[in-house]
Structure 1
Amino acid sequence: MKSISTIIGVALLFLAGLCYFINWHALVPAFTVLGIAIMTRKALEPLIIGCAVGFVLLAMQGGSKEFFPEGEGMIFPLNMFDGMFSSISRDAHDQGLIWVILVCILYGAFVQLLVASGGINAVGKYSENHVTNKKQSLIMTYFLSFFFFLDDYLSALSIGNTMRPITDKFGVSREKLALVLSFVCVPLTIIFPISTWTIFYGTQIAAIEGGVLNSAGKVITSPIEAFLGTIPYNFSAWISLILGALVVFQLIPDSKAIKEAEANVKVIDADVVKVKKKPAKEGKLVYFILPLVILIWCTIFPYPYDSEYWGSVTFSSESIFSSIDALRGIATACVFTYLFYLVLGVIKFNKISNNFVKGMESITFVLVVLGMTYLLKDVQNGLGFNEFVAEKLQGISWLNSATLPFVVFALVAWICWATGSNWGIYAILVPTTAILSRTIGADFWLTQGALASGTVWGAAACFFSDNRVLTAQSCKIDMMKHGISQFPYQLVIFGISSIMYLIAGFIL
């Protein structure tokens, strides 16, 4: 496996060098990051090197007022540092990045409070009493994930921490546990009407210039209504959920990497654990269930304490869906959980704040990787990555109404896979794909579904995307091992989805 990874990594680095010499500079950072990531199986270092390469290329080109506001005209390499600092400053004020950081930090603190209270241990104990073998532990992992539909971050962190002790007990490799999560976490949030992904993606569609009409001929203004039309066409998400079920029910064989991981797994001896490790705090199911209910409720109804808000709510699907706020939901849930545990004496006063901070600290590496991913996206925007790809698409003779959904899916999927970005790419390409679908007469909802599906596949398949980082974090596994072990399954999902988009393109 290592030799294959080395060959692929070297090939990608060769492509990066080739792109430099033929002046395809926009592709150099992406190929560099992927090549080094596959060879080293690291997450942070390849991103740092890729960003550095991108800044060097920008500086050699002379930069621009956007990337080099103070240092335009400086000699190389001095202008490189000005560009880097300008980009960091710009990302530090990016509302999207700030939102992600706050949500990640609070989810980390929330999960740590659940762990410290014994709530997650109680769920584990309950599950353990109803799980008697390896297969059942994977099935429970799969279906438990459906209760965390609000956000992929919450799902990855909560399910991994909850089920890891149980799957460890029955000899399930952590690679396979992480694989099951990769089948569910992101795909579920993109096909469930109430989720952070649905809100963000629906907002982009509703904001398309000229408006989008529903079946009644009225302009769609609700983000949820806008996104509902794409859900049937999110083929990669549906296939991922189906493939995940086939894996946990053992209806298809494991890949070579998963078989190797399963063969090398060591079943934890409970007696040894009792001697060497302090037993986990005994908790109650209510310590887990009540905070989770509050989280879900306050995410859907983010102003539970505002009487005017309740007076204005009509409880229609449109008004409820449009009010979803993941940040307010997790913030309110953290405050409630903190006070709930404190008042009932679940966690002692001198320990509850320590656990809250500990949960925040556990997300530090994730946040650094996320920051570098945003920086890489910024660099690639400066090099014209998206414009370069769009330009190469122009003039393709076989790009028509039947093939557009497939082209959109395949192109976006690999762009997101290469960059680790999904929401940003989606926001950039929604207007472009809308214009293309209208111009050449392709089905609008199928094309938008293909766009969303491509970002979902890219987020799930990318070795260093935010969800891969969080999944590896909660499953206590090396991120690159997880990324490589689940990649063959992602290729299957990509292949089947591509065929379905081709068929749907000719039918619709």
Structure 2
Amino acid sequence: MKSLKSVSTVIGVALLLLAVLCYFINWHALVPAFTVLGIAIITRKALEPLIIGCAIGFILLAQQGGSAEWFPEGQGMIFPLNMFDGLFSSIARDAHDGGLIWVILVCILYGAFVQMVVASGGIKAVGKYSENHVKTKKQSLLMTYWLSFFFFLDDYFSALSVGNTMRPITDKFGVSRDKLALVLSFVCVPLTIIFPISTWTIFYGTQLTSIEGGVLDGKGEAITSPIEAFMHTIPYNFSAWISLILGALVVYEFLPDFKGIKEAEATVVIKEEKEKTSKKDKKEGKVIYFLLPLLVLIFCTVFPYPFDFDYWGPSFEFDINYIFGSIDALRGIATACVFVYFYFLLFKIVDFHKISDNFVKGLETITFVLAVLGFTYLLKDVQNGLGFNEFVASHLEGISWLNGSTLPFIVFALVAWICWATGSNWGIYAILVPTTAILSTQFHADFWLTQGALASGTVWGAAACFFSDNRVLTAQSCKVDMMKHGISQFPYQLIIFVVSSVIYLVAGFIL
């Protein structure tokens, strides 16, 4: 473990030196990102590096006179006044756009939902039921892998639910929590971008259908459905497919553990837990306490309410675009929380005080996550204020060997590292989907392959980033240090990146 820390320190120092170099050659847009990554790798912390990176970004903005587009109120302000003003501006802007509010509400309600189900004994019952079928360490990892496929609607939901459900079982069989988190990282994010019913599907598909001039299907007709548009990219989301395959190789033990995971596995101590029977807790949880809320969550996420006759009325069609055209993760989790609350109270599964306490406890467990997310949004805005996107675009245009065959590879590689460096993924869609569409037309590249490369790059960046929202939630549910988890799973992510890059490069010349 000491050698791993030494390597991490060397990499972190190298990134900080790179940030200094970028400052002196006036590549200011890259300084905050390299600073955050360097400090995060050295300290293995998430929040502090983001705060420092944002502070350095605002120092640079103060030197340049501020950003007229991103922080107009802070023009001419000195540091740290411009940072306080910028934090307010960033939150207000993202809240006005709805993106930040949506993420906050989904996060805190998922936290409350999971905590209430845990309090009912439902998740523990799933664990006990699983123990009747899980007899070995390998089987516990297999169950973790395949159980994740049932939580395809959202990566937040998958990370929180599967981690909390499987952690007691994998602990029992001596699986390190680092490896549990690794298996989740193989599935949670990739699954949401190759399954046609997810929050990522709707968002990305909407960006595609919003492209000026529209996008056409194979018959030359304009595509208006986000689901239909998204489904054209599924075969080309190579990094997501490779991640699922690599995850299977790990859990089926066809691929040996790399150094970080191997060291974590070697330090695991299996603790024999003696269950104490409490007179106060005579009731045992049942699997139905987990399954019924889950079914309500899935149904209300995919479909509108049964009394919504505008949807279920005479115009209802048995068409995938119609049925799945109204997916709403916030509606689903909000409804599920209300259902769980009253279901547990009415049937006296959990008493009023206990369910209320656990509801609040669930909200509190996401506080750190929300703080990290808030500064991630701020970092993104700071980099935009420093001209990060324009910097990338200008250097992309300067590549002499950029053509229709190499464009998918360049888009994937560039977007992957941008998302890895910034922790942003959905924001990248809004910025680069139209740009990628223009470039694919300009260079006569395959449109869907290029868009698939864009989606694939964001997925890889989100899964590989040390401080992305999914990394935070995965570490939270597996009860493992976030930076330790990020570093231990990164070698596997590099394999995914290299293999995907090769495939995109080959596909660009073939298609």
What TM-score, normalized by structure 2, do the two folds share? 0.96
State the shift of 1:321 in Å: 1.7
1:471 aligns with 2:508: no
Please name the residue that 2:8 is paired with.
5
Residue in 2 that maps onto 1:52:
55
Amino acid at match of 1:110: F
1:294 is aligned to: 296
The whole-number CA distance in structure 1 between the counterparts of 2:410 and 2:90 is 31
Q: Tell me the CA shift for residue 91 of structure 1.
A: 3.5
Structure 1 residue 274 displacement after superposition: 4.2
1:80 CA displacement: 5.1
Mapped contact 1:168–1:174 kept (Cα < 8 A):
yes
The answer as to 2:354 corresponding to 1:351 is yes
Corresponding residue SS for 1:322: coil
1:39 aligns with 2:39: no
* 8 A contact 1:28–1:54 mirrored in 2: yes
Give unmatched runs, 5+ long, in structure 1: none
- Shift in Å, 1:76: 6.2
2:287 is the alignment partner of 1:319: no
**Most deviating of 307-316 and 163-172:** 307-316
How many residues matched?
A: 506
Aligned residues of 1:59 and 1:80 also touching (Cα < 8 A): no
Q: Contact between 1:186 and 1:460, CA under 8 Å: does it hold in 2?
A: yes
Aligned equivalents of 1:140, 1:79: Cα separation in 2: 50
Shift of 1:73: 3.7
Task: Give a deviation string over 1:451-492, Cα, whole Å, max 9, x none.
Answer: 000000000000000000000000000000100000000000
Match among 258, 281, 289 for residue 255 of structure 1:
258
User: How much has 1:102 moved relative to structure 2?
Assistant: 0.5
Instruction: Pick one of 437, 440, 445 that aligns with 2:443.
Output: 440
Q: Which residue of 14, 18, 30 corresponds with 1:15?
A: 18
2:286 equivalent in structure 1: 284
Distance 2:190 2:507 in 1: 20
Counterpart mapping for 1:148-297 below 5 A: 148-271=151-274, 274=276, 282-297=284-299
1:457 to 460, 472, 487: 460
Work out the CA distance in 1 between the residues paired with 2:475 and 2:82. 37
The structure-2 alpha-carbon separation of the partners of 1:88 and 1:100, relative to structure 1 and needing over 3 Å to count, comes to: closer
In structure 2, C-alpha distance between the alignment counterparts of 1:71 and 1:227, rounded to whole Å? 39
Q: Who is 1:114 aligned against?
A: 117
Q: Which residue of 2 aligns with 1:61?
A: 64
State the identity as a percent. Answer: 80
1:85: how far off? Answer: 3.8
Compute the displacement of 1:83 (Å): 3.8
Distance (whole Å) between structure 2 residues aligned to residue 101 and residue 495 of structure 1:
34
Aligned to 1:27: 30
Which residue is 1:328 aligned to? 331
Q: How many angstroms apart in 1 are the aligned matches of 2:371 and 2:70?
A: 21
- Note closer, same or farther for the CA distance 1:422–1:279 as it changes in structure 2 (3 Å cut): farther
CA shift digits 1:1-25 (9 cap, x unpaired): 1111111111100010110011000
- Of residues 304, 311, 315 in structure 1, which corresponds to 2:306? 304
TM-score w.r.t. the length of structure 1 is 0.97
In the alignment, the residues of structure 1 paired with residue 243 and residue 489 of structure 2 have an alpha-carbon distance, to the nearest angstrom, of 12
Shift of 1:408: 0.2
Q: Which residue of 2 aligns with 1:341?
A: 344
| Kept after mapping to 2: 8 A contact 1:114/1:287 | yes
Indicate conservation of the 8 Å contact 1:117/1:346, yes or no: yes
CA–CA distance in 2 between the matches of 1:143 and 1:346? 29
Q: Tell me the C-alpha RMSD between the 2 structures.
A: 1.7
